[in-house]
Amino acid sequence: MRCEKYETLLSQLADGELSTGQELEVHRHISSCPECRTFYEWILRAEELLRFEHSRLPLRTDITSEVLRRLSRRRRRVGLLVSVSVLCLIVSLIFFLLRGGSLVVEVVTGTGAEVSRTGIRWRKPGAGDAVPVGWTVRSGNSTLVLRGCGVTLELREGSELRLNLLRDADVKVSLKSGSLLASVEELARCRVETPIASVWSSDGKFLLRLSGEVPSFSFLPCAYAGEEARLVVDVLRGQVTVRKGGSVRAVVAGSRAVVSFSVAGVYVKAFSELAGQKWDEFRENRLNFWRQMQVYLDGLELFAQAIELWSYGTPRSELLSLSRERRGRALNGMRRLYAKERQIAVALDEFLELQKKVEE
Amino acid sequence: MRDDKSLSGESGEIRSIVERAQKGDKEAFGIIVERFQKMVCAVARQISGNVDDAEDIAQEVFLRAYRSLPLLRDPSSFRTWLLRITRNVSLNWLRDHKPLQTMSKDTVDALEGKRDGQTLSTVMEAVWRLPEEYRSVVALRALGGLSYAEISEALGISLDTVKVRLHRARKMLRVLLGDILSRRK
């Protein structure tokens, strides 16, 4: 019974992992217990012999030279790979620029939809078809949904539009007749510098230009050809009416927007002042948010590397927990930002109330 | 085998060499390979159970280490980190190949130290017969020279688990080797 207590400590004594007090105690025991002393000496001897056996095996190759040689060869291979990749990228870019991009038709319901170009009639679009730039899309007697470049366009029955794709999320749509619903999704794809989204609208035509990164941001503009254009920005929980021939510029801040009208300039100044005051505060918060997001993205990147490097020796659990920690920090940042944005929303609501009273 | 264990006293020097290698200095990495190759070969040999391919495994370990070096946050824990890679690569090798439980004639010849006419491969072979979790702790401790805390870090297990595994491994080895070692006394 007494030996059982010391048995597990013998290994630690042999490895020098005991405290001085414990060492003395175990030494006292083995000096009086032949069985434990034998086991202790056996451990030392076995490990010494194991090391001796390995040391007797000569290295048959010059590992250092071989490793350095393989590293140089790998670098040359990587260099070649990079060159080929760059070449492919350039070819793809040239091809893209010449082609000008396209939208993919995701859903076609009903009948009569067709895609055409002046003098050329294309076949009827089916799910998964690509609609090239400069072509006109007619919905026929059905609703046609086009999705691509982060934008979804829902072409209502009897509508016709002409597509002109710019880069990424820039889509210029000329509505010839009928009505159109457009929503912007997958904004994470858009690379943007400032959280600003602008919408210009005039009757029958509009241009969506997203120059801001705004993962929580989306809007749903709706235009009716030949009529007074009406723009609904649903995250704003408000509506802006643009009279025929007018234009509107919307700067979106979080869940609210600052809107200026070319035909209603009387309100622009007061609106802008409040916006400017709140904007500074918002902007600071937004910057903090993106810093947090960067941490999150770093975490994701690290996680991606982990997948590759897993077999290289970094424990998966360690990387996963690191990623979780960083993700947690980013989420907290987002929550704080959301709270700030709500404050701004309340302030803007108060302003709108005030504005209404002034109008009255 | 633990000739490079003396490097623990030179951690400052190793650290600076590792830092140079992290910046892409291949000469510095060459020094690292030179210093740690015997230890890596021994651990790879012991964990993979293969004598003849241990040097190939070691080369793979160093190549992977070079690629992952920028991710090493604490250069002073380089030895632990390198041995963790060694264990993983050895186990990958073991998964992809059938372990060699017998040795080539050249190896046996090299091992025969003519101690009472016996082959000295006995302890090595006995360790090979241990389950992998026990074999790894023995190899990292006896051949890699890692402390319990370092083994715990390298394998991602608790300190108590390290103690238990080492103790059990030695008890198993004693069953396998007891008589032979006694005879050699």
CB pairs < 8 Å spanning A and B = 143
* Chain B hits for A46, Cβ within 8 Å: 123, 170, 173-174, 177, 181
pLDDT in tens, A167-195: 333 444 555 555 555 444 333 233 322 23
Average pLDDT value for residue range A243-269: 37
Tokens read off for A117: 């170009």
pLDDT of residue A186: 32
B113/A contact by beta carbon, under 8 A = yes
DSSP letter at B160 equals: H
pLDDT of residue A3: 77
* Chain A hits for B173, Cβ within 8 Å: 46
Q: A253 pLDDT exceeds 70?
A: no
Q: Which of B57, B46, B72 is nearest to B124 (CA)?
A: B46
Q: Which of A65-74, A279-288, B81-90 has the lowest mean pLDDT?
A: A279-288
Could you tell me which chain B residue has the CA closest to the CA of A8? B167
Average pLDDT value for residue range A235-240: 33
User: What ipTM is given for this predicted complex?
Assistant: 0.82
Average pLDDT value for residue range A251-262: 40
Q: Which of A259-273, A324-338, B59-73, B117-131 has the lowest mean pLDDT?
A: A259-273
pLDDT of residue A251: 44
pLDDT of residue A41: 87
A112-126, A135-149, B138-152: which is most confident: B138-152
* Chain A interface disruption, residue of B59, B134, B146, B150, most A CBs within 10 A: B59
Torsion sign across C-alpha atoms A241, A244, A246, A252: positive
Task: Give B57: exposed, middle or buried? Use CB within 10 Å, 0-12, 13-18, 19+.
Answer: buried
pLDDT of residue A334: 52
Whether the Cβ atoms of residue A163 and residue A131 lie closer than 8 Å to each other: yes
Average pLDDT value for residue range A277-285: 50
pLDDT of residue A237: 30
**Residue given tokens 């350039």 in the structure block:** A90
Q: A90 pLDDT exceeds 90?
A: no
A198 DSSP β-pair partners: A209
The SS3 assignment for A114 reads strand
A222 DSSP β-pair partners: A181, A230
Q: B39 pLDDT exceeds 90?
A: yes
Distance from CA of A330 to the nearest CA of B (A): 22
Query: Where is pLDDT greater, at B8 or B80?
Result: B80
Q: Which of A197-206, B62-71, B111-120 has the lowest mean pLDDT?
A: A197-206
Query: Where is pLDDT greater, at B101 or A215?
Result: B101
Could you tell me which chain A residue has the CA closest to the CA of B30? A64
Verify whether the Cβ–Cβ distance B59 to A66 is below 8 Å: yes
pLDDT of residue B26: 86
Buried b (16+ CB within 10 A) or exposed e, B109-132: ebbeeeeeeebbbbbbbbbbebee
Global pTM exceeds 0.80: no
Whether the Cβ atoms of residue A103 and residue A153 lie closer than 8 Å to each other: yes
pLDDT of residue A262: 33
A26-30, A131-135, A294-298: which is most confident: A26-30
Distance from CA of A315 to the nearest CA of B (A): 7
Q: A158 pLDDT exceeds 60?
A: yes
